[in-house]
Amino acid sequence: MYTAKFLPEIELRKTKLQNAMKNAEADAMLISSNTNLFYTSGRIFCGYTYIPVEGEILFFVRRPVDLKGDNVIYIRKPEDIPAIMHERGINMPQKLLLEDDVLTYNERIRLATIFTNATFDNSSQIIRNVRAIKTPYEIELIRESAAKHASMYHRIPAEYKDGMSDTEFSIELERLARLHGSLGIVRIFGSSMEIYMGSLLSGDNADTPSPYDFALGGAGLNSSLPIGCNGAMIRPGTTVMVDIGGNFTGYMSDLSRVFSLGEIPELAQNAHHVALQIQDAIIEKGKPGVPVAELYELALNTAKQAGLEEYFMGHRQHAGFIGHGVGIELNEKPVLAPRSKEILEENMVFALEPKFVIPHVGAVGIENTLLVTKTGIEKITHCPEEIIPLD
């Protein structure tokens, strides 16, 4: 199942998960979501990862048919698992952790009828807590994604052609991302959170409220996916915010930059400058042990002092956060929100995105991916941060 390179990494992850299970007084964890299958195996397959509180991980696989390894066991259905465990002399768990945040009701009931003697608890938050602290292996993959992401963003102005609509521009940027190695999908934690490769917001469309818990909205091209570009022409005197996700390695980076067509009002220019001030202040203050709610308050107070609270993190609809964890998914821990109880820890990775929406002009602001180090914050997405003209 594992490559030689991944073997030391999976041992480290197994230890972290087993320690978390011991703290939860659980006997085992059963995983079936794509995100956590990837985390526990280094690949996505159809089936289950079974992690006992002690001993080796087992992979109960339905598809694909060519996986090999002593711990790879092919099954036709999950009901096959108890008999296989009995044959191998593995005790059935008395307390089993399931991904209750992502399992459907029917899946949950089915697993409960298979592990008949077990009590169940939710593993989702336990796994999220473990995944929040990145290993050196994961950090290198995020750095690689960030470097390719930034390289792609450096080339954005050259893709704009006079008379483009936001959709036409977005298509060219999505193509550019794929040419740089993007896997073409953005994974997001959270129910009913949908997006393709990211969003491009131009002019008034940036002020269109979204049903999703994103920093900014956009009407989208169809009511079945109401987010991002809406087909409008990019007009002089407006901004274009590009927020295309960076998934180049299976690990995400997050990056937003602002472009303009012609002169934009002083209010928008000033708001962008304040967003950069917020970013710098948070980078200066952030370090292990700092509550993320304090970072949110710092951002909000800076916006208030500048007289820009009305436009901060939206205008018609405001987002209640200024940043989120980054890893296999977006919206991992920590979430920089006013009521969050989370504390920064070394090797957390998060995206910081102080943004403003100026009516009839568009969105301004910044988003970068940041790493929490022993002593502070390191920015790992590097490309120009000023508003860049398209003409």
Q: What is the pLDDT of residues 37-74, one digit of tens each?
A: 999 999 999 999 999 999 999 999 999 999 999 999 99
214 — pLDDT class (breaks 50, 70, 90): confident
Mean pLDDT of 335-351: 98
Under the banding of pLDDT at 50, 70 and 90, the label for residue 318 is very high
Model pTM?
A: 0.96
pLDDT at 190: 84
* Model pLDDT, residue 33: 96
Tens-place pLDDT, residues 107-133? 999 999 999 999 999 999 999 999 999
Average pLDDT over the chain reads 96
Give me the residues paired with residue 356 across strands. Answer: 312, 364
- Would the pLDDT of 195 be above 90? no
Q: For position 231, what pLDDT does the model report?
A: 97
264-299 per-position pLDDT tens digit = 999 999 999 999 999 999 999 999 999 999 999 999
pLDDT for the residue 391? 85
Please tell me the predicted confidence (pLDDT) of residue 203. 97
Report, as an integer, the average pLDDT of 95-105: 96
Q: Give the residue, 391 or 263, on which the prediction is more confident.
A: 263
